[in-house]
Amino acid sequence: MSSEAPNGIWKTVQMVVTVKAYPAMSNKYGESVCVAGVRTDTETPEFIRLFPVGYRDLPSSSQFKKYQHVSLRAKKGSTDRRPESWQPDLGSLVLGDTIDTSRKWRERWELLRDLAGEGTTCEIRSRAAAVGQNSKSLALIKPADISGVSISENPDFDERTAAAAQASAAPDLFETEKEVLKAAPYKLRYDYRCQHRSCKGHSQSLIDWEVGVAGLKWRDGKAGDVRSQLERKFYEEMCSREKDVHFFIGNQHQNPGSFMVLGVFWPPVGSRPEDSLF
């Protein structure tokens, strides 16, 4: 890890955000979001994770989007030892351009092509389970096949978490009030096999911000059966045969052998830069 600064030393990093998880409540950090992306200031692209990010507390001018270039100060923390994890100084955020999907996702492919398909879920997971936090904890894997999604109801926050969410939403001297965080109403898991030749299959939750928001919106909008809407969007559309679908996977800090799908990369089939001859 040539780009790592020693623990505790602030460094300016440049990256493109590719993952923004649904906000979680923790005793230690309050409401926070796991953000990950790709460094653009290193010789070869590498993944970076920012935590904690109190995303909804950021001024709207600092609320970056996925695929937006950002620059900020960050340091390696002492508790999260995963190689990609940095602690951000959110006051230093500077936002740049957002990479769109015009030109058949060409620019997004240029960002991700060297990382896409590097390793399989089976290998990365078993290494992290054996080695712990000092092991690769973020990847963009190419599933061999996705057999479906399982959608289940996600319970509301328990009393203690609901109280913490309420407290976190209360305005302080400088902030305007934000909406109290609600639990994502549905849990969506992808059932898939990775490219490992003896893969027996994985069933991993998708924790993308968009799933939580879609579940809330469709539940409150009387737009019919929410489960089938979620399945249509996150499986039938995003994982259709016309998409060259990849999963951003990442593990849990306290449980390195446990991986989730953090987000989906779903460019059209045939859009890889090397696929185009002209």
CA torsion 133-139-145-148 (nearest 10°) is 70
Residues ≥6 apart with Cβ < 8 Å to 230:
149, 151, 186, 188, 211, 214, 215, 218
Closer CB to Zn ion, 28 or 200, in the complex: 200
Rounded to the nearest whole angstrom, what is the least distance from the CB of residue 257 to Zn ion in the complex?
13
Rounded to the nearest whole angstrom, what is the least distance from the CB of residue 125 to Zn ion in the complex?
7
Rounded to the nearest whole angstrom, what is the least distance from the CB of residue 124 to Zn ion in the complex?
9
- If one counts every other C-beta atom within 10 angstroms of the C-beta of residue 181, the result is 22
β-sheet with 186-193: strand ranges across: 145-153, 186-193, 202-205
Closer CB to Zn ion, 144 or 162, in the complex: 144
Map the footprint of Zn ion across residues 143-202, applying CB under 5 A. 194, 196, 199
Rounded to the nearest whole angstrom, what is the least distance from the CB of residue 150 to Zn ion in the complex?
17
| Burial of 6 per CB tally in 10 Å (0-12, 13-18, 19+) | exposed
Closer CB to Zn ion, 82 or 196, in the complex: 196
- C-alpha to C-alpha distances, 241 to 8, 145, 175, 208, 237, nearest whole angstrom: 46, 10, 46, 22, 9
Residues 248 and 278: their CA atoms lie apart, in Å, by 29
Closer CB to Zn ion, 116 or 199, in the complex: 199
Map the footprint of Zn ion across residues 41-80, applying CB under 5 A. none
Rounded to the nearest whole angstrom, what is the least distance from the CB of residue 123 to Zn ion in the complex?
8
Cα angle, residue 24 at apex, residues 227 and 11 outer, rounded to 5°: 130
Map the footprint of Zn ion across residues 193-252, applying CB under 5 A. 194, 196, 199
CA 9 to chain centre: 25
Helix (H) / strand (E) element for 163: namely helix 159-169
Closer CB to Zn ion, 93 or 139, in the complex: 139
Closer CB to Zn ion, 3 or 147, in the complex: 147
Name beta bridge partners: 53. 33
Closer CB to Zn ion, 85 or 121, in the complex: 121
Rounded to the nearest whole angstrom, what is the least distance from the CB of residue 251 to Zn ion in the complex?
14
Q: Residue 25 interacts with Zn ion (CB under 5 A)?
A: no
Map the footprint of Zn ion across residues 92-131, applying CB under 5 A. 121-122
| Total residues in contact with Zn ion, by rule CB under 5 A | 5
Binding site for Zn ion (CB under 5 A): 121-122, 194, 196, 199
